[in-house]
Structure 1
């Protein structure tokens, strides 16, 4: 276990390396590897553990009745998933948690996170504070995604998302965490329609891109 890596994650912020090793043991920490496309947690099942992505990344994929699916969330290395469902006993996942690439996951028993140990360790309290902050941040990200997908046209959805990515990176040139299909799922549009719109925007000189690397070239007149 690379405890030095943990020190740079939001979940273990403010916790020393020696304390982190103790916490992992206290919380029944288990490390497991997954191949790209492998399901980590299945939709419809209740969970009691949260996952911390040590390497790779994972998506929450919500299946639709007709066989299609939508990406509801993306968690990169250093981020956690499953905390909201694990916090509600018996609550079933609405989507699959799937490895977006080869990934290593550290699982922690959330029931033990919320049960403060008899010693009242200050770093245990700090972990709970970090968990609450992460949950609040995710709520803000969910609200941002709703903003991106509220627009009626594909172009407006793309503009909204790329503008937000540019602000987050502080640059007009950046890399997004999705491939083309994943971006289409995230924005709630068809991949072919998305590719066509991106091609038009590139031809018009609004953007340039190569795979998941984008550059914003100019400000559109009707930018969101």
Structure 2
């Protein structure tokens, strides 16, 4: 696990902890590391979850699929980021999303019950629980942002809402988004062809330019 210590140090879960404290934490209770191939399902909707996952390598998508098989990307989780923490916090809760490897990935699973027990034994590690609350709050903000985008009435308005936020987040009108075309359509809950047509229209109108996942917005 020492090989991934630098990744874990970047995780909000271990914020403000020293290397030795992180290593002691990981030795205090069982953890499990698993490898996944691209498109392999990490967690299945309908199952109960007691562990949160931390991405060590690669990337996973949190995906919501309806009865007819329509997919919606709820979130993308990159190295040092956490997933499934909300479900792991609620006893006997059933997972309502799939987690799928977007590329070859390594995941570290932490049993949340063990995490809380460790915290109770050593009050110096109140920081861990504080960090977990920070993660939950951050995920809530991310979900609110997505709701803002998908609540727009038209495909153009959804795109502009998302791209505007990305420009502000990057502090530049030129930026790279973390999705390809199909993934962006799934994230915004729009038809890919209609979205691509709208992007081309906005490019022709001088609102933006793009190449693959690179975008530039114009005033």
If the length of structure 1 is used for normalisation, what is the TM-score? 0.93
Instruction: Tell me the CA shift for residue 118 of structure 1.
Output: 6.0
Partner of 1:222: none
Stretches of structure 1 lacking an aligned partner (at least 5 in a row): 219-224
For the aligned residue pairs, the C-alpha RMSD in angstroms reads 1.3
Contact 2:119 2:126 in 1 (8 A): no
3-state SS in 2 of match to 1:129: helix
Asked if the contact 2:47–2:94 (Cα under 8 Å) also holds between the matched residues in 1, the reply is: yes
Distance 2:126 2:29 in 1: 13
Is 2:165 the counterpart of 1:164? Answer: yes
- Matched with 1:78 is 80
SS in structure 1 of the partner of residue 13 of structure 2: coil
Q: Is the 8 A contact 1:206 1:216 kept in 2?
A: yes
Q: For residue 45 of structure 1, what is the aligned residue in structure 2? A: 47
Q: Answer whether contact 2:119 2:128 (CA < 8 A) is retained.
A: no
1:64: which partner in 2?
66
Structure 2 segments unaligned to the other structure (5+ residues): none
Local SS of the residue matching 1:91: coil
Report if the CA contact (8 A) 1:61-1:70 is conserved.
yes
Q: 1:135-173, CA deviations, whole angstroms, 9 ceiling, x for partnerless residues?
A: 001101111110001111100000000000011111111
Is the deviation greater in 196-205 or in 112-121?
A: 112-121
Q: How many residues align?
A: 217
Distance in 1, matches of 2:153 and 2:191, equals: 13
Of the three residues 100, 103, 106, the one matched with 2:105 is: 103
Regions of 4+ moved over 6 Å: none
Q: Which deviations, in whole Å up to 9, do the C-alpha atoms of 1:88-117 show, x marking residues without a partner?
A: 121111111011111111110011112245
Question: Which whole-Å CA distance do the structure 1 matches of 2:131 and 2:78 have between them?
Answer: 17
Q: Work out whether 1:199 is the aligned partner of 2:200.
A: yes
Note the 1:133-152 alignment, pairs <5 A: 133-152=134-153
Contact 2:53 2:82 in 1 (8 A): yes
Alpha-carbon distance change, 118 to 174 in structure 1, aligned in 2, over 3 angstroms: closer
CA drift of 1:33 comes to 1.4
